[in-house]
Amino acid sequence: MDSLADLQDPAIFERNRLPPRAYFLPDSDHCQLLSGTWKFNYSSTPAHALALDSSSKWDNIQVPGMWQLQGYGAPQYTNVKFPFPVDPPFVPTENPTGTYERTFTIPDVWSGSHIRVRFEGADSAFHILINGRQVGYSQGSRNAAEFDITPFVHAGTNTIRVRVYQWCDGSYIEDQDQWWLSGIFRDVYVLSWPTKARIEDFKCETAFVGEGYGDAELSTTLDILAKTDATVKMKLYDGKMIIGKDEIEVSVSQMHLPKTSTIAVQAPKHWTAETPYLYTLVITISADNSTLQTITQKIGFRQVEMLDGLISVNGSPIHFRGVNRHDHHPSHGRTVPLDFTRRDLLLMKMHNINAVRTSHYPNDPRFYVMCDELGFWVIDECDLECHGFDDAVVRPIDIEDKLRDQHPGLLEEGNWWAIHDKRQDIVFGEATKYTSDNPEWEAAYVERMKQLVHRDRNHACVIIWSLGNESFFGQNHVKMAEWAKEYDSTRLVHYEGDKGGEVVDMWSYMYAPIQFLEERSKEEGWKRSIILCEYSHAMGNGPGALEEYQEAFRNNKRLQGGFVWEWANHGLLTKNEKGEEYFGYGGDFGEKVHDGNFVMDGLLFSDHTPQPGLLEYKKVIEPVKCQLLDDGKVEVTNYYDFISLDHLVAEWKVTKCDLGEKKEVEVGSGFVEIPEINARESGDIEVPYRTEGSTDSSLYLALTFRNKHDTIWAPKGFEVAWFQAELNEPTLRSLVPVQAQPASELSVQETALSITISGQTFDISFDRVYGALTSWTSHGQSILANDGSPKLGFWRAPTDNDIPGDAKHWTLFGLDMMTQQVRSVELKYGADKATILVKSWVSPPILAWGFKVTQTYEIHSSGLVMIENILTPRGSVPKSLPRIGLDVLLSKDYVDATWHGRGRGESYPDKKTAAKFGVHNKPVSELYTRYEKPQESGNRTDTHWLELYTKSGLLSSARKLTARIREHPFDFTALHYTPEQLTAAKHPYDLKPMKEVNLCLNAKVHGLGTESCGPGVLEKYILKCEPTQFTVEFFPQ
């Protein structure tokens, strides 16, 4: 065979590979794991690999693993674009090739057995040799490949050589928004099978019979190869008890014999993502009074169908609270340890996630075993994406000119979704011609679907097959769907690219705006529900508006939920030139073609610890929601799809947050009985709280719902959901305690250049030229750092969601370089108060817009400092602002923070549902969120007051600075970085924390949105450039 030609022929995707089958392995006596250390040669081309001889250099490498992460070549990340010239099916001449070799032993007891070698995954294609003889070829990186090596092996020591190619024609349809990494990345096995008689494959299907989803049948189709008479026995266990059995007699034959067994089961427990109850099917085949083979398979009784246009399981509609998940590990790439995957799934369960889309390929086969056990709805996706043809079509043309010609006014309107839709109309027709609508690729497309379905079909968790991702739509998708529906009628078919609904069972969208979804959900006579296979792009600081999406899902039955993009960042652990570790993204490994940090777009950091976005998602999708009623009762709504709330206990607590006490005080607490509330129903509970006697302190009622018992994914007492409501509207108290009122009068001195104001405990200097408070000491300690004058603040370090649109607009309007021109400074003072009135013009260079600003500084003899800010925009103003606030650079002595508001983590106007009200404490050093690409972070919203503390020393006592915005709750950040430092940094190691504290007290903050890939900030969260007035109060003690 011409092995190099195999790499560039879409009709050749295997040679001698056995047909795909359900995943199961023989027992340990008949299964050898070949993972471990192999010999390895890295060649620049396949031709060089073919020319290896005794003088060639061999190293050691670990299998499974990616060779770029073991010192050979370099990782490369692209989202859409192909990293090689687009000329399918041809691949680059420089096609790095890894040759793997090791020995293995065939034991004497395997003599006469049928022997196979199985690869669970190798990227992107490979040839295999046993004892120097060609065995076969395979491509389809995330699919298993199995070969019959019986004629090639002998008892004793044997040698296996595997030649793996970085590129093959299959690479054109594996362009899946991930790192391009190569090698044998999943386990390799040598398997021994009986030759007298064996089960080659089996297919299990469950179905309910009669009415009411009560009794059921388990149907098992077996592919049997027998050379002698044999008996197949089927036993279904519930724990240790046999609840059903069947027996099949097999007569002698040299051919595969499909046999079907049916076991009737009375009222089995239903499998759902909420009740993942599993039975155990044991299949044995025996001959001549000897058991030849035993297979064990977990069985979940569930039935998937479309009922009244809705995706339904066991007769009930379901709602996806899902995520997209890549197989990725920060050190090993797609070689993901099993315990790492399990931790992922446990973390999902603990954050109320009930569904996973295996974007964009079949995951490790053991992943599905765990999903069966833990309870997840799975959209299982075919190993198929060719998104790069989009760039191949778009780059040579001016897409904006075409849009203007065909759709006048569209770009000017700025409707992201409409532009996205019309762009697809222009591009996809051409892009699909390369492979998706090319009959030369039909067999390759359909084979990938067969590989997916055959391997994973026996898993209850898999309820939907997906034809792949972002591969446009063509006749090859039609063929895939036709085969899948004919072979497996028990599941639904999904594909977002089927815009006309030709083959799919539901409508699926990516990043659709809420308004569009709500409008579609109300169409007359609809027959198919809607899901979002991707939404709320979780890149960097975000996503915003999760609560609004979930509200739309809750209120419109046609909207059956979605899958956040995505579960985790894909950073690769590496080091900079100084040896500092960090998580690298596109461009960090010397690659010219890349898509930057777009690979950092998950709810988890790259080390798979939660980002703030995951905490927000858990709260938003929690299955129990509450509302405080006018009569004081609490309405509890159960958003589970199947179960009641009897597995939970509810605990209530009332707390008081007092400005004077600066702490949270428990007023009352206890447990409350949860009435019987079935799925999708509501009920009221009475909580015995009291609110009397509190007028100047905030009172909060909190309800917490916890596991009543230990579960497989969380212990007894684990918090599943919580609710909080403010019970009163406290009166505004002065920041100055009565005992702090001084007896002495103010001392005021002024010159042409400065003003100095002194009280019993403080000294303040004011620069008349610059209209700025330049020095401030209290109790002998400096409050401000050098150049720490309070200044109006507008800029924030752009988040990943700001960068595509808002940040460009803000930079265009100069919001990153605002300046102040002082027009006048006036001083008035008496015995107990000095007032400085500053009028100025705040604007950027180059441009003619800005703010007419009036600032009134009031310095009281008590030490209270109030700064009233009145801003009136003038000229051609920007459509939005990052923020409006007052920035102060504080002394390095301030190290701890206490505040009353939302916390403890960061929160923003459209990302705050998970942030509880209360009195929170944190070191200033922990108020920053260390995103893997630095950006705006650490904001706390809806704050009532903030205190910053110094540490006590040998010669000084601890001091504090209390601050707030008087008119309304405010936002703040207190960081050891400025917005400018965060803007300039590309990685965390670029940031060197300053000792001083950059305090930003913001009257208003722009939302986050999801414009890194999707809709921007919702209208109600846009910070518009409008007249603004706010008063900042400081009181040092």
How far is the C-alpha of 785 from the C-alpha of 791, rounded, in Å? 13
DSSP per position, 495-516: -TT-TT-SS-SSEEEES--HHH
Catalytic residue among 146, 496, 534, 906: 534
Nearest to 1003 by CA among 1033, 972, 980: 972
Rounded to 5 degrees, φ, ψ at 880 are: -155, 165
Concerning whether 14 is annotated as a catalytic residue, the answer is no
Concerning whether 719 is annotated as a catalytic residue, the answer is no
Separation of CA 246 from chain center: 45
Going through 266-313 in order, the beta strands assigned E by DSSP cover 279-287, 290-299, 304-307, 310-313
Greatest CA span in the chain, whole angstroms? 112
CB atoms near residue 70 (< 10 Å): 18
The angle at the Cα of 516, spanning 512 to 517, to the nearest 5 degrees, equals: 75
How far is the C-alpha of 813 from the C-alpha of 881, rounded, in Å? 10
Nearest to 748 by CA among 738, 758, 734: 758
> What single DSSP character describes residue 166?
S
Catalytic residue among 146, 174, 442, 470: 470
Q: Contact 834/813 with Cβ under 8 angstroms?
A: no
Q: Contact 838/822 with Cβ under 8 angstroms?
A: yes
How far is the C-alpha of 595 from the C-alpha of 610, rounded, in Å? 24
How far is the C-alpha of 861 from the C-alpha of 858, rounded, in Å? 10
527 contact partners, CB below 8 Å, separation of at least 6:
309
For the chain, the helix, strand and coil percentages under 3-state DSSP, each to the nearest 5? 15, 40, 45
How far is the C-alpha of 521 from the C-alpha of 552, rounded, in Å? 9
How far is the C-alpha of 885 from the C-alpha of 965, rounded, in Å? 10
The size of the chain, in residues, is 1037
Tokens of 718: 């684990």
Nearest to 352 by CA among 635, 156, 625, 535: 625
Q: Contact 655/918 with Cβ under 8 angstroms?
A: yes
> Residue 258 region, left (φ>0) first, then alpha (ψ -120 to 50), else beta?
beta
Tokens of 90: 């041809």
CB atoms near residue 487 (< 10 Å): 14
The angle at the Cα of 502, spanning 497 to 506, to the nearest 5 degrees, equals: 70
Torsion of CA 911, 913, 914, 916, to 10 degrees: 120
Q: Contact 637/647 with Cβ under 8 angstroms?
A: no
Known catalytic residues are 470, 534
